[in-house]
Amino acid sequence: MTIIADTLQRSLPVNVRDLGGIAIDGGAVPAGLAIRADDLSIITADYAQELVENGLTTIIDLRSREEVGFTGRGALAAQPVAYHHLPLMASLGASMADQGAFARPSDFGLDYAAMLERAAPALVTALSIIAVAPGTVIFHCTAGKDRTGVLAASLLLCLGATDADIVADYGRSGPNIDAIHERTRPVMSVLMAQIGIDLDAAARAAADDKPFDEYAMAQMLDVLRKRHGDPLVPLRAAGLSDALIAALREKTQVV
C-alpha cells in the first residue's frame, strides 16, 4: 500500500514527448514506438485512459523504490498495460549521498555517465522490453529528464542516432524545467525531507550553478567515449548484443 495514493493531487505530465521523427540509421524513429515522460504515477484517470486508447501497452518505471513506494503506479495500475520497475538508482538516499545532496547542473553529464555504467543491466533489460513489446512503450522517472534521458540516449545510440540529435532530444526538457519542479514538488519535498534534505535549499544551491544546459548530455557522451571508445561498451558488457540492437532497429522499419 502506498503512503499517499488516495490523497495525492493528480495532474498531467509536463515533460512528455514521442521519440518519433528523430533521425537514425536508415530513416527515423517511427511515431508511437517509444515515448519518454515525467512521473506517470500522478496522472489523472482520464489521461491514463487516453494513453491506452492511443496505443500504450507497456510502462518502464525508472524511479527508485522510495518513489514507487510513495505514490505507487497511480491511475495506470487500473489499465491493461504491462508494468516493469527498473530503478536506475538503488535508493534516493544513496544517490543523494554520492552526489552531495543534489548534483550541480555542471556535473550532470558526469553523473549520467556514471549512471549508464552502474545501471547498465537495468538499461539493457529496458532495451530488451522495448524490442519485443507490442504497441507503444512509455518510460519515465520523476522529472523525465535525467534517468529518462539516459535511457533515451541509450536507445537512440542503439538505433544509430547522431550525438547532435541525442543532445537535442535531451535539450527539449529545458523549457519545461520550472513546470517539472512545480509538478514534482509535492512528492519530492516529502521524500527529500525523509532523508534529511531540504528541497528548497538544494534547488537554491543548484540555481547558483549554471542553469539547465543540453551540454550535460554532450558531456555524458564525451566522457563515455573517452573511457570506453564507444558509449555502448558498458551496455554491451551487461548483455547488449548485436541481436538485440538488430531487433530494436527492425522495430523502426515502417512497412
Sign of CA dihedral 1, 102, 151, 37: positive
Q: Is 158 a catalytic site residue?
A: no
How deeply is 130 buried, as exposed, middle or buried, from its count of CB atoms within 10 A (0-12, 13-18, 19+)? buried
Q: How many CB atoms lie within 10 A of CB 49?
A: 15
Reported as type and span, the H/E element at residue 95 is helix 92-99
Strand, coil or helix: what is 205?
A: helix
Please pick, among 24, 59, 127, 141, the residue that the annotation labels catalytic.
141
CA–CA separation, 136 and 139 (whole Å): 10
**Residues in CB range of 15: below 8 A, 6 or more apart:** 37, 38, 143, 144, 145, 173, 176, 179, 180
- Give catalytic residue positions: 141
